[in-house]
Structure 1
Amino acid sequence: MYLFLKLLLLLPAIQLLCAYTTENECMFQDTCERCLSTHINCSWCTDKSYNVRYRCLTRELLLAHGCGVDNIYENEPEMHTLKDAALKDYEDNDERAIQVQPQRIFLKLVKSNTQRVKLSYRPARNNPLDLYVLMDLTWTMRDDKETLVKLGAELSETLGTLTDNFRLGFGSFADKPAMPMIMPDLSSNPCASEHEVCEPTYGYRHHLALTSDVSSFVKSVNESRITGNLDNLEGGLDALMQVIVCPAEIGWKDEARRMVILVTDGFMHFAGDGLLAGITQPNNKQCNLSKTGEYLGTLTYDYPSLEEIYRELLRRKINVIFAVTAGVVSTYHELSGLMKEISNVEILSTDSSNILELIKRSYESFIKRAQFTDNSPSFIKLAYETDCGGQYDRLRQRNYCNNVQMGTQVDFYVNITLIDFPKDGVYTHKIRIEESSLTEYLEIELEIQKPCPCNEESVPDDEYGRFQCTENGYLQCGMCQCDEGWTGTFCSCSTQGTNTTTNEAIEMSCREPNLDNKAELNPVCWNRGECDCGTCLCLPGFMGPYCECLECDVNCDPDRADCICGKCVCKYGWSGTRCNCKESFDGCIGPTGEICSARGSCLCGTCECYDSYRGNFCEIDSETENKLCTFYEPCVTCLIEQKLGTAVCQNISEICSSQNENERFTYAFITEEIDSDVRCLARIENQHGIKCDHFFTYQSLGQSENYLLIQANQCEPVNKVAFIGFISVATFLLGFLIILLAWMCIKAKDAREYARFEENQRNSVLMESPIYKDPITRYEVPKVLKQSNSNPFLD
């Protein structure tokens, strides 16, 4: 009778198994929670009159098998957009720009199901900018302050190229006015050692709240005074913390892009350094400014840590630019690398003359980067995908994009998955997806579908319910609650004499151990069969103790192979993917006697070459020499020497035969060039002592069928007499030609110079003063007198 009832229950199940596909993962889940978590289309039937073995099926199958509509629990994910204002740039008549779309959505999540949300971002043109200049005003920065005052007019022009809607603020810092940061005797004038008078040392001073009046900014910088400290470590982080946590005093706008440019030439004090001055109380991350803007906590609280600064910058949506001199830039690069999404480092010139360029470049780098973060709890996973506005040819898993141009829309696809149910039983949450530098965000109102909220009262004596549970338990919410001594999905497994006293223990014996990750469990029977009291009953097409293997192909002949986990493992003497090849290597052994030149494997008498090798015997490699060329070369050399009559090989029959056969190679000599993909070279010295190149190719069909085609070249010696005569005549003619050309060039140059001289003579004008008198007197003897005195003996 018991066997008949079991067969009766199994009859509808057998019909379902015949129609099973690998996509149907529902039917083997034995609890409502596991059922709904397996697949989005899985549904659970709690109807007591339902007489099919499997209660976890699709809604359509449950209805088809008689489950009542009101007794079906199913996954019901939802998504509604609550606020979806279009992206727009900033306009003067608007309150703010819109750079993130949509702004609010509602999601109902189902465990293990992923909901996909499209999030669009576009950097707005002319968006408000709040820029706070935080400057080191110690002694070494005195020139930099003056430079900033001189650049006041240009500052307005530079910021105007970025946005028309900007505001400026100003503050300065030095260090804690305590030993060893200062010398006590120089506290009133820390610049006395430089023979100058300056302001007493202070920690941080807020001079000007954010304003659109550039002249007020220049005036505030000009009126600030230089101070000094003892060491080269400054209290910049103290000052930066106050700038961040004092929004009312600084005047930060919610809709503005907020930036702080920290200008210094020194290093920074970090948390713990206050101990040197006896200051041990941790930084309280609260605003401690007086009405005049003086930092009151400088001698009370320690410097903040970098992690505290980073968290506050993220929370307040503030970007920071470290404008530092070249001597300390490497340190600040390391510091910025710990918070790279909200910080940047620029090299400051010695007098800060390039500060406007740094502000412009940093602003553009911030505005071109889009990065989204969220506050999702641990049991909800958010994964981001984007192509960064067409920068990539496919979606990539990342939550940020670089080089986003102004006005370009970038779409992020956020995949939201409920990994597990919340432990605290809270099923409604709010998640914010925020852009790291803006106050805009997408708010997700989240509802989690509860795991099978069945409130059915148990009826242990219900006859049909006990029948469903093999008379060893009763049915409640579609699940068998077993009597003592029984367990299993249908209470059909006895716990006597075994350690498997629970359904979970039975399932563990049906799960294949996960050797890669022991914390992660593999599916029961790999969702390819049913766990029956710790043993997997596999569906058709699967095999193995956990149904982990496919059944072997019908072409796997049992006489030639063994079926091992879905693969045909060939028996001795057989090979091939279907084990239909006799293991014979005759067709794979080349003339060298090697199987596939030891560069491949022989499959069914044909060489299957390894990567980078080719040829009938895998003899060809692009990086090393051809094995058959090397093998044939001694034979070809011998044949060519024999043809040219330079030598006679004594063992030509031995050389010109295959490795394991005595048959000689068949060969032929040709005079034309060899036209073949494979050309081998044999270099031979002829009777004239000249090394001559001879090319040949081969065709090999096995060890006993080898063909050689040889191109034998005649390399005649050079006629030395004719060669020397030709060189001599050519040298003489070339020398004569060079001399003739040089002579012609000289003649032409002389002619040009003489013509230029004559031209200058014609154009010359004699310029003499009319009162000029030549100091040289010239006298010429009269001709008559010369003739009369020509003979001194005549008188």
Structure 2
Amino acid sequence: MFCLKILLFILLFTVQIFEIKSTNLNGDRQCYVHDTCEGCLGENFYCAWCTDKTHKMPYRCLTYSELVNNNCSPDNIWVNKQGIDIISADELRDFQSDSNRATQVKPQKIHIKLVKSHTQQFKLTYRPALNNPLDLYYLMDLTWTMRDDRKTLVRLGAKLSEALKNLTANHRIGFGSFADKPTMPMIMPHLIDNPCAAEGHSCEPTYSFRHHLPLTDDIDKFVKSVKRSRVTGNLDNLEGGIDALMQVIVCTERIGWKKEARKIVVFATDGFMHFAGDGILAGASIKNDRKCHLDESGEYTESLFFDYPSLEETYRELVKQKISVVYAVTGNVYQTYQEMDHLMNGTSNVEKLSMDSSNILELIKTSYETFLKRVKFTDNSPPFIHLNYETNCGNQFENLRQRNYCNDLKMGKEVEFYINITLKAFPTDGMYHRTILIEDPGLSEHLELDVEIQEACPCDEKGAVEENERAMCNEHGIFHCGRCKCDDGWGGVFCECNLSNTNSTFTIQEECRQPFKNPAQLGPICSERGECDCGKCYCFPGYSGKYCECPECIDCDLEKADCFCGKCVCKYGWSGNRCNCEAEVDDSCKTPNGEICSERGECQCGECLCKAPFVGRFCEIGWENENKLCQYYEPCVKCLIQQKLGSRFCENISDICSNTDKINFQYSFVTEINGEEGRCVVRLINHNDNKCDHLFSYDRPDSSNNFLTIQVTDCKPVNPLVMGGFISLFTFLFGFIVLVIYVCCTRIADAREYAKFEEQKKHSTLMESPLYESPIRKYLVPQLEDDNMTI
């Protein structure tokens, strides 16, 4: 399985390399097929467009270097220019009192130059800051059913301060309450002064929203403000909470929101809320203007004039002011507020409130941590600019995923988002500079993108061209943006071809087809390596010939070779595929027996290019490690070993060990041969009649030297007594070990069976008939109390 994975990896890697090479080879060629400036620049980033009138090449869309090489003026070449410049990138840091701010988003500003259809990528890093300021506004439903909740909030005042300190040392809290619009049908007219009269109690006249306390760090002021507030009531079971929420959002100065703080509204209620359109029932038919309407006492004055705001309007203001909402609601309305939360796109959170708000501290802590542990970046990009987000959420995933959000973040840990930006189309309003903000709805920080869009080719926007430009097109067209726009019935790069006759058009194309051996069979137009214009092939760069049938010669030195239709033909004295090898270097490929590359390959610049399956410096190694040079040197090595061991004296050793050119050789005896290359084995029978293998290696540093390295092995005969004793001892030990293992395994098996029997015995039950009576009887003789007593 492991080998299969390795093989698959190599295969995929090879395919990717092939695709990359194919893309590079075909990338430039894709430029040639475009005859408009916009299409040219949009095809490939490296494509460029020539608007030079003196440029006579049929192709206006090539790479920049190709256009310059074909005498297009650099001043008249329109190219793609894109780039990313980081303008501001302050380091991430926790909240610092000296600067009164934290840095959670990096970088802060980037300048991007976009090119149509070409994607660029940049990185955004986010890290939740420690001890970041918190502005918490408690917006409470003070209708009759919430009277116990107000008392609980007063009672938990001191604990609320401690809870906020545990979240962050920089916290402030404010307070406001709401009921509903004070008119029919939200309230009965005769009960407007005491809406709780139906319950037999006296309470505050109905009001829409009342701002009691601006944001402050004095918790005692908060508790006193809650104590001074009074319960009110309304008729229906729907409240005007969304009216109150809009005022809390837009009245930034009255509420006291700080720009750098995380702003949270705790919306506590046990009822449903009215939405946009319900105000018509009360005569409030004017669309909510989303402006602040609080008087000096903090009362919302326009509740009977403006309709309730919609969820969409509320959401937009929450995003604009960077405020998050925690809906702390009771179980009977929990599901409804959850559905609202899904529509608020990350600006809200829903928590279940107990009937008397006794768990409000826990809800505030949980909600605040929820906002800190999640981040979701959105942007205000126009439809023609597409942003794609990728992240692994701080190594939560092995690979990058396409998502713009992360959950369960850890405080102080960085999360990286890779953002791909692509210009899909040009702006229709003519505005080529845009500002895009990438931000989280709850953060006061953002990344600002200063986007500069590369305009479409300016020549395409100039409109009609003057009549004197017709001379460039043989008076049969108009020269416009580097190309001739031919009149009807004319064609060609410069409108030189009369296409009014259909037969003439067919004949022109036939002239661009290469004839094969069979005259009736013609090849493709310009061999599919160029374009046919008026019966003449204009070849793509890299090809030549009448029919573009010849590729260019790659790495062909014209001083050493001539190029004939894509092939290098070497001049006298040179060889090799690139004709860069001198002819006499073939001696480096010659083996001691006079063969060039062992007659198994070709010599290129002094090196052997072996045919499959042969390998080695001289292609001497073949199937099953068969080695020609080992066979060649074997007689010499045998003679040297026998002479070394004293079993034979080689009188003609020079003749045996010299090569075909009678060049002297060198040899040495070693105790061990290092390396595997050029290693051979020779087998001899020693004086003890034992077959003994000896190793040797060969080396040929140059054509005039042969060097042999020989390892002599002294093979001694085996002592039969020692061998017999060793075999006997091994057999005894092996049998003893097998016996011990068998006995241990048998005892373990017996112990398991006995334990199993005992376990079954414990749980066994003797099944007897209830009518069965045992025949055995037992009688006890009573003891006498007095020894003198007789029976």
TM range (shorter): 0.5 to 0.7
- What SS does structure 1 have at the residue aligned with 2:65? helix
Which residue is equivalent to 1:236?
Answer: 241
Deviation of 1:141 (Å)? 0.5
Which residue is equivalent to 2:481?
Answer: 477
| 8 Å Cα contact 2:32/2:540 also seen in 1 | no
Which of 379, 401, 406 lines up with 1:374 in the alignment? 379
- What SS does structure 2 have at the residue aligned with 1:290? coil
1:304 counterpart = 2:309: yes
Which residue is equivalent to 1:448?
Answer: 453
| 8 Å Cα contact 2:58/2:538 also seen in 1 | no
Q: 1:638-657 maps to which residues of 2 (within 5 A)?
A: none
Deviation of 1:364 (Å)? 0.8
**Whole-angstrom CA distance in 2 between matches of 1:227 and 1:456:** 71
Which of 447, 459, 466 lines up with 2:473 in the alignment? 466
- What SS does structure 2 have at the residue aligned with 1:445? strand
Deviation of 1:21 (Å)? 2.5
Which residue is equivalent to 1:146?
Answer: 151
Which residue is equivalent to 1:419?
Answer: 424
Deviation of 1:528 (Å)? 9.3
Deviation of 1:68 (Å)? 2.3
Which of 92, 114, 120 lines up with 2:119 in the alignment? 114
**Whole-angstrom CA distance in 2 between matches of 1:495 and 1:165:** 82
Q: Residues 197, 128 of structure 1: CA spacing in aligned structure 2 closer, same or farther, 3 A cutoff? A: same
- What SS does structure 1 have at the residue aligned with 2:346? coil
1:180 counterpart = 2:215: no
**Whole-angstrom CA distance in 2 between matches of 1:66 and 1:441:** 48
Which residue is equivalent to 2:58?
Answer: 53
**Whole-angstrom CA distance in 1 between matches of 2:147 and 2:265:** 20
1:246 counterpart = 2:231: no
| 8 Å Cα contact 2:89/2:106 also seen in 1 | yes
Q: Which string of whole-angstrom CA distances, capped at 9 and with x for unpartnered residues, describes residues 144-194 of structure 1? A: 001001111111111111111011000000111111211222211111222
Which residue is equivalent to 1:216?
Answer: 221
**Whole-angstrom CA distance in 2 between matches of 1:459 and 1:278:** 66
| 8 Å Cα contact 2:91/2:103 also seen in 1 | yes
**Whole-angstrom CA distance in 1 between matches of 2:205 and 2:191:** 8
Which of 348, 355, 363 lines up with 2:368 in the alignment? 363
Deviation of 1:463 (Å)? 9.1
* Matched residue count: 498
Unpaired segments ≥5 residues, structure 1? 1-16, 499-526, 541-729, 739-795
Q: Which amino acid aligns with 1:182?
A: I
Which residue is equivalent to 2:33?
Answer: 28
Q: Residues 201, 28 of structure 1: CA spacing in aligned structure 2 closer, same or farther, 3 A cutoff? A: same
| 8 Å Cα contact 1:123/1:406 also seen in 2 | yes
Deviation of 1:95 (Å)? 2.4
Q: 1:182-197 maps to which residues of 2 (within 5 A)?
A: 182-197=187-202
Which residue is equivalent to 1:616?
Answer: none
1:227 counterpart = 2:228: no
User: For structure 1, which segment, 368-377 or 234-243, has the greater mean C-alpha deviation from structure 2 after superposition?
Assistant: 368-377
- What SS does structure 1 have at the residue aligned with 2:326? strand
**Whole-angstrom CA distance in 1 between matches of 2:228 and 2:496:** 90
Deviation of 1:406 (Å)? 0.9
| 8 Å Cα contact 1:30/1:489 also seen in 2 | no
Which residue is equivalent to 2:292?
Answer: 287
Q: Which string of whole-angstrom CA distances, capped at 9 and with x for unpartnered residues, describes residues 710-729 of structure 1? A: xxxxxxxxxxxxxxxxxxxx
Q: Residues 487, 332 of structure 1: CA spacing in aligned structure 2 closer, same or farther, 3 A cutoff? A: farther
1:156 counterpart = 2:139: no
Q: Residues 735, 286 of structure 1: CA spacing in aligned structure 2 closer, same or farther, 3 A cutoff? A: closer
Deviation of 1:474 (Å)? 4.6
**Whole-angstrom CA distance in 2 between matches of 1:473 and 1:460:** 9
Which residue is equivalent to 1:384?
Answer: 389
**Whole-angstrom CA distance in 2 between matches of 1:298 and 1:212:** 30
Q: 1:577-592 maps to which residues of 2 (within 5 A)?
A: none
Which of 27, 34, 37 lines up with 2:42 in the alignment? 37
**Whole-angstrom CA distance in 2 between matches of 1:155 and 1:269:** 30
Unpaired segments ≥5 residues, structure 2? 1-21, 503-527, 542-759, 769-791
- What SS does structure 2 have at the residue aligned with 1:89? strand
- What SS does structure 2 have at the residue aligned with 1:367? helix
- What SS does structure 2 have at the residue aligned with 1:21? helix
Q: Residues 275, 530 of structure 1: CA spacing in aligned structure 2 closer, same or farther, 3 A cutoff? A: farther
Q: Which string of whole-angstrom CA distances, capped at 9 and with x for unpartnered residues, describes residues 119-147 of structure 1? A: 11111111111100000001110110010
1:166 counterpart = 2:171: yes
Q: Residues 532, 298 of structure 1: CA spacing in aligned structure 2 closer, same or farther, 3 A cutoff? A: farther
Q: Which string of whole-angstrom CA distances, capped at 9 and with x for unpartnered residues, describes residues 748-767 of structure 1? A: xxxxxxxxxxxxxxxxxxxx
Deviation of 1:458 (Å)? 5.2
Which residue is equivalent to 2:729?
Answer: none
Which residue is equivalent to 1:330?
Answer: 335
**Whole-angstrom CA distance in 1 between matches of 2:312 and 2:71:** 61
Tell me which stretches of 4 or more aligned residues in structure 1 moved more than 3 Å: 454-464, 474-477, 483-498, 527-533, 536-540
- Structure 2 length normalisation: TM-score? 0.59
Deviation of 1:198 (Å)? 0.9
**Whole-angstrom CA distance in 2 between matches of 1:475 and 1:290:** 71
- What SS does structure 2 have at the residue aligned with 1:281? coil
Q: Which string of whole-angstrom CA distances, capped at 9 and with x for unpartnered residues, describes residues 261-295 of structure 1? A: 11001111111112222222221211110011000
Deviation of 1:47 (Å)? 2.5
Q: Residues 532, 188 of structure 1: CA spacing in aligned structure 2 closer, same or farther, 3 A cutoff? A: farther
Deviation of 1:80 (Å)? 1.3
| 8 Å Cα contact 1:344/1:362 also seen in 2 | yes
Deviation of 1:386 (Å)? 1.2
- What SS does structure 2 have at the residue aligned with 1:209? strand
CA RMSD of aligned residues (A): 3.2
- What SS does structure 1 have at the residue aligned with 2:78? strand
Q: Which amino acid aligns with 2:253?
A: A
Q: Which amino acid aligns with 2:487?
A: D
Which residue is equivalent to 1:653?
Answer: none
**Whole-angstrom CA distance in 2 between matches of 1:462 and 1:192:** 92
- What SS does structure 1 have at the residue aligned with 2:103? coil
Q: Which amino acid aligns with 2:117?
A: S
